[in-house]
Structure 1
Amino acid sequence: MYTWKLTGRAFKRFNTNYNSYGSSRLAIVLEHCGPKTQNRGKFGIYRKRISLWFREQGTQVAHVCKKQFEFVAAQRIRRYIQIFQLYTKIWDEVALREFMRSWRLRLARNTKNFLISATGVTVYNWDRERISNEEINRHNREIEGIHKLRDSTVVCAKCHLRLVIDVVQPNVKYCKCNIQSSCISNQDCSWQPFIERQDMLIWRKEEPDSGGLFAYKVYGSFSDVTADDFLQVQIDVDYRKQWDPTAQELKIIETDPRSELSINHSTDIIHWEMIWPKLFSNRDYVYQRRWIVDREKGLVIIVSRVTEHPDVPERRGIYRVKTYWSYMVIKPYTEFHEPGIEFGLTYFDDPGVAVPSTVTAWVALRGLPDFLVRMRQASKDYQKYKLMKQNATESENSHLTLPVEDVSKEQIKVNVENNLDDSKKSMRNSQDRQDDSDNNTNKLDVTHDVQQNNMMETENKDTNSTSKEKQGLLHYFYLGKLFAFLDI
């Protein structure tokens, strides 16, 4: 009896949700199982009823818990989805605002470029990359500076006659004082005399932070070339492909809109691919070239430097030259259309080949004078080429154009070879006339003869198997290393 009472109180004490229905039903059970019940059989029946009640209540409780769990889980999932959608919208808006803000800044900087890029077109930024007028005007007095450099490095300070650099040239009076000249005050002595040929002087100096590479300065005085023709040799890309056998590809990519209608100045983006031996990749240049004809000052100034253009990406198997700059100044003796010019050219480029300086010097001594002679002859033949091209253009049969161009090209080569032979003959005659010179000059002549004979023997060996335009690695290395300065 006491057990049932304690059980009822325990249900009431610990079960706050104990309802009236459950309590009344339990009371009936307890009442039947009370002290009035003396029969053990009846107690077993009520015990089964109690276990059945607990089982029913447990099933209902589990069912309610299951529904509650499903409800809570659904609410949690719904909340997570709502939070995800909310933060997605927030971050999308922030990203959009940041994107619009960046484009507003670009629009403020360059409205034209923004509008063009919005249409999906990429262009060259002329306003940012254009060679400035200050850079052009910086070279107005280049010829005068070369005259001072010549007087301070290759002219005797005592007798004011020319000093011998490497080869004695005809019609030049040389010093016999055996005293080397020193640089005058306020003159850069880093330019060292390097090569002398007929009507040409070449200096060089080591470029800082270049790994031992040299920048070159060329001075020439040609009495048989006009300034107009010499300029066209530098800027006419079609003619350059006629007389330069190393030009694999040469074309103008784009012209500055400011100079399209002018005949006295122009700024162009040029792509030039140069042939190299099979063991090496071809080299190509993408550079901006600006030239100006100032007829009042009597000067032509050409400035070039490497650049990047979206229409000329780097190609596989071709090495893109990253470092290159040059400037050339042409000054006529009298008028632009009359023969007689002097010019100065300073340039530097890095073709990406590690070659000892001794090899570079030997290649330069061998190839540079011949190339300058070739360029000189091309200038003399430019009017013939122009006339042939004009006749070919006027001809009704388009197939005649190629033979005309081939004839002009072959004629140029023949003229160059004849000019080179004449130059060598004159050099030999000049050496014969130097027999009465002092012992120092005789030693120089003997040394030159030995070097020249060795060089000619090497050239004869090379030309037995290949043509003169394809003389192997050193020929192409020289053209790549030393002639990238030509402004096409």
Structure 2
Amino acid sequence: MYTWKLTGHALKRFNASCGGRSSSSRLAIVLQHCGPKTQNRGKFGIYRKRISLWFREQGTQVAQVCKKQFEFVAAQRIRRYIQIFHLYTRIWDEVALREFMRSWRLRLARNARNFLISAAGVTVYNWDRDRISDEEINRYNREIDGIYRLRDSTVVCAKCHLRIVIDVVQPNVKYCECNRVQSSVASNQDSDGWQPFIERQDMLIWRKKEPDSGGLFAYKVYGSFSDVTADDFLQVQIDVDYRKQWDPTAQELQIIETDPKSELSINHSTDIIHWEMIWPKLFSNRDYVYQRRWIVDREKGLVIIVSRVTEHPDVPERRGTYRVKTYWSYMVIKPYTEFHEPGIEFGLTYFDDPGVAVPSAVTAWVALRGLPDFLVRMRQASKDYQKYKLMKQNATASNSLTLPEEDVSKEQIKVDVEDNLDDKESMRDYQDPQDDSANDTNKLDVTHDVQRENDITETENKDTNSTPKEEQGLLHYFYLTKLFAFLDL
């Protein structure tokens, strides 16, 4: 078929080159020479010579046509290669841009929500959605009664109704002398998984494994302090400035935002708090962002404090500090009589995960060593709160004297200072004739109390700094972080 087409094409070109003849006559000549009834085959040889002659004459034109065709094909190929080059150049630019964006997404993955909020200029915490509800607060109204039942079922002998020894015998406590096997069997009823863990003076501590926590424990503390008022104990929990005075592990502690519905109330408040805790050099510091709601119910004679972790746009995660993601706690304080009278009992239940995998044996040893000491320190801080408050008031008064208004003359300032000194002299000379035992106390100067408080603070700081191995070692810090993210938490 291809041969026949080529032959037909050649014949057409040959007929076009032959002038002066019609198409029918030329076709007749071809058919005459190529017909099947051709008798003289020599005539076909003559026709073949004419074809050869035509090809020689048209060779130059054929070569030029082939050259143009080759040039056209080559140009098309080069054009395609250039298009492919530009295409891959754009693709690789897009890949590089995509890789750049991916790296930024990885950097902002931990803080994507805060980044988007701050980029949009929004710094509002959704209180309606995240506020601790009244139902959750009311859930702990019977917490002290529940601790009574837990104590009776776990650390009180069912036979003689006396206390069972947990770890260390405490003075002024009558313990069971029955068979310990019988006592222990009778003391494991209705405990809800809580096991007695530590007993110290005026304190009992239970613990139980928290589900889905990798073997971490939740802790429940019961304390009965006869020398602390409920008002002062509450202030120790909620006064962040005072916490920084007596807790050396508090790197940062501040209230980020307060619920607008509780700003004008003195009996309840809901705050967002950021607390960064100092850890040893081998570890990153831990910080908490949590919501804390407390309420004073004077009719029921209770103080309830509930805390749990949250997120706030003003406190994004920072490099070099580990953000604790899991934390919750609730504390109930009940005074013996009145809130301003000494004598309270309290229950505290809490759990947090600082993100450190430590064997349970090490955790138990650290808790046994540090947990009671921290509770004792908290108790002492409650007893010293009034001194701290007095010192703060005196500092404020001193600043108001040393920084007068511009329109007050120096003579007037001098008179005010002398009047103040005269008042202090009169207070020093005052004695209550009906109370001879208070003579020494009434003669004390307020400034002397302030100086004494400063000396005590410096002594404590010196003791803390002078014994880093004992008081600020790895286990001590781990204990403070793992077990006590609750006072300002």
TM-score tier by shorter-chain length is: 0.5 to 0.7
Checking the alignment, whether the CA contact within 8 Å between 1:324 and 1:349 is kept in structure 2 is: yes
Tell me the alpha carbon deviations over residues 410-434 of structure 1, each in whole angstroms, 9 at most, x when there is no partner: 53686999xxxxxxxxxxxxxxxxx
Cα 1:242–1:204 change in 2 (3 A) is same
- Would the alpha carbon gap of residues 414 and 371 (structure 1) be closer, same or farther in structure 2, given more than 3 Å must change? farther
Letter in 1 for 2:396: T
Distance (Å, rounded) in 1 between the aligned partners of 2:357 and 2:451? 37
C-alpha separation in 2, matches of 1:185 and 1:203: 13
Aligned residue number for residue 214 of structure 1: 217
Change (3 A) 1:370 1:413: farther
User: For residue 471 of structure 1, what is the amino acid of its counterpart?
Assistant: Q
Report the alpha carbon displacement of residue 119 of structure 1 after superposing the two structures with TM.
6.9
Partner Cα distance (1:228, 1:206) in 2 = 33
| TM-score when normalising by structure 1 | 0.64
Distance 1:477 1:188 in 2: 28
Partner of 2:227, secondary structure, is: strand
Q: Corresponding residue for 1:287?
A: 290
**Structure 2 equivalent of residue 177 of structure 1:** 178
Map Cα deviations across residues 50-70 of structure 1 (whole Å, 9 max, x no partner): xxxxxxxxxxxxxxxxxxxxx
Query: What CA deviation, in whole Å up to 9, does each residue of 1:205-249 have, x standing for no partner?
Result: 111111111110000000110000000000000000011111111
Match of 2:396 in 1: 393
What is the match of residue 258 of structure 2? Answer: 255
8 Å CA contact retained: 1:268, 1:290:
yes
Q: Secondary structure of the residue that 1:202 maps to in structure 2? A: strand
For 2:138, the aligned partner's letter is: N
CA distance in 2, matches of 1:466, 1:200: 26
Q: Structure 2 vs 1, CA of residues 366 and 192 (structure 1 numbering), >3 Å: closer, same or farther?
A: same
> Are the equivalent residues in 2 in contact too, given 1:381–1:412 (CA < 8 A)?
no
Equivalence for 2:208 = 205
Aligned to 1:351: 354
Determine the C-alpha separation between the residues in 2 that align with 1:376 and 1:118. 45
**Cα offsets for 1:255-302 (capped at 9, x unmatched):** 111111111111111111111111111111111111011111111000
Contact 1:204 1:217 in 2 (8 A): yes
Report the secondary structure of 2:183's partner residue: coil
Structure 2 CA distance for aligned equivalents of residues 343 and 413 of structure 1: 30
- What whole-Å deviation, never above 9, does each CA across 1:36-90 have from its counterpart, x for those lacking one? xxxxxxxxxxxxxxxxxxxxxxxxxxxxxxxxxxxxxxxxxxxxxxxxxxxxxxx
The reply on whether 1:230 has 2:233 as its aligned counterpart is yes
State how far apart, in whole Å, the 2-side matches of 1:337 and 1:261 are: 22
Pairwise CA distance, 1:124: 1.3
* Match in the other structure for 2:7: none
Q: Could you tell me how far 1:127 is from its partner in structure 2?
A: 1.1
Q: Shift of the alpha carbon at 1:123?
A: 1.6
Counterpart-to-counterpart distance in 2, 1:277 and 1:287: 23
Give the 3 Å change call, closer, same or farther, for CA 133–372 of structure 1 in structure 2: same
**Structure 2 CA distance for aligned equivalents of residues 465 and 391 of structure 1:** 30
Task: Verify the 8 A CA contact 1:272 1:286 in the aligned structure 2.
Answer: yes
**Paired residues of 1:347 and 1:485 also in contact (CA < 8 A):** yes
Amino acid at match of 1:348: F
- The verdict on how the C-alpha distance between 1:369 and 1:181 changes in structure 2, with shifts beyond 3 A counting, is same
Name 1:479's counterpart in structure 2.
480
CA contact (8 A) 1:153 1:192 kept: yes
SS at match of 2:480: helix
Tell me if 1:122 matches 2:123: yes
User: Offset of 1:484 from its aligned partner?
Assistant: 0.6
CA pair 352-139 structure 1, distance change in 2 beyond 3 A? same
Which amino acid in the other structure matches residue 411 of structure 1?
A: I
Residue 278 of structure 2 corresponds to residue 275 of structure 1? yes
Match of 1:451 in 2: none
Quickly say closer, same or farther: Cα 1:185–1:319, change in 2 above 3 A.
Answer: closer
Query: SS at 1:180's partner residue?
Result: helix
Range with bigger deviation, 176-185 or 281-290? 176-185
Alignment of 1:377 onto 2:422? no
1:165 aligns with 2:166: yes
Query: Which AA in structure 1 matches 2:390?
Result: L
Q: Is the 8 A contact 1:377 1:415 kept in 2?
A: no
Unpaired segments ≥5 residues, structure 2: 1-20, 23-116, 404-447
CA distance in 2, matches of 1:256, 1:463: 36
Q: Which residue of 1 aligns with 2:456?
A: 411
Q: CA deviation at 1:487?
A: 2.9
Shift of 1:143: 0.2
**In the alignment, which residue of structure 1 is the partner of 2:243?**
240
Describe the shift of the 1:349–1:464 C-alpha distance in structure 2 as closer, same or farther (beyond 3 A): closer
**Alpha-carbon separation, structure 1, partners of 2:282 and 2:188:** 48
1:108 equivalent in structure 2:
none
Segments of structure 1 that go 5 or more residues without pairing to the other structure are 1-25, 28-115, 418-461
8 A contact 2:336–2:345 mirrored in 1? yes
Contact 1:157-1:182 at 8 Å conserved across structures: no
Aligned counterparts of 1:416 and 1:248: Cα–Cα separation in 2: 15
Shift in Å, 1:391: 0.9
1:194 aligns with 2:212: no
Residue deviations 1:289-347 (CA, integer Å, cap 9, x gap): 11011111111000001111111111111111111110000000111010110000000
Aligned-partner SS, 1:273: strand
Partner Cα distance (2:186, 2:223) in 1: 21
d(CA) in 2 for partners of 1:332, 1:158: 31
* Residue number in structure 1 paired with 2:75: none
Per-residue deviation, residues 170-223 of structure 1 (Å, max 9, x unmatched): 111111012324467982341110100000000001111111111100000001
Measured at CA, do residues 345 and 480 of structure 1 come closer, stay the same or move farther in structure 2, by a change above 3 Å?
same
> What is the rounded CA distance, in whole Å, between the counterparts of 2:129 and 2:189 in structure 1?
34
Following superposition, the deviation at residue 121 of structure 1 comes to: 2.0
In the alignment, which residue of structure 1 is the partner of 2:9?
A: none
- Paired residue type of 1:250: L
Q: Which amino acid aligns with 1:133?
A: D
Partner of 1:323 in structure 2?
A: 326
Question: What is the alpha-carbon distance in structure 1 between the residues aligned to residue 470 and residue 244 of structure 2?
Answer: 13
Superposition pairs for residues 443-454 of structure 1, below 5 Å?
none
SS in 2 for 1:170: coil
Alpha carbons 2:153, 2:189 under 8 Å: kept? no
> Normalization by structure 2: what TM-score?
0.64
Shift of 1:471: 3.0
Residue 152 of structure 1 is matched in structure 2 by 153
Distance between the aligned counterparts of 1:240 and 1:464, measured in 2?
A: 18
2:371 alignment counterpart: 368
Alpha-carbon shift at residue 129 of structure 1 (Å): 1.0
Could you tell me whether the CA contact under 8 Å between 2:317 and 2:323 is conserved in 1? yes
Corresponding letter in the other structure for 2:264: L
Q: Distance in 2 between matches of 1:184 and 1:168?
A: 18
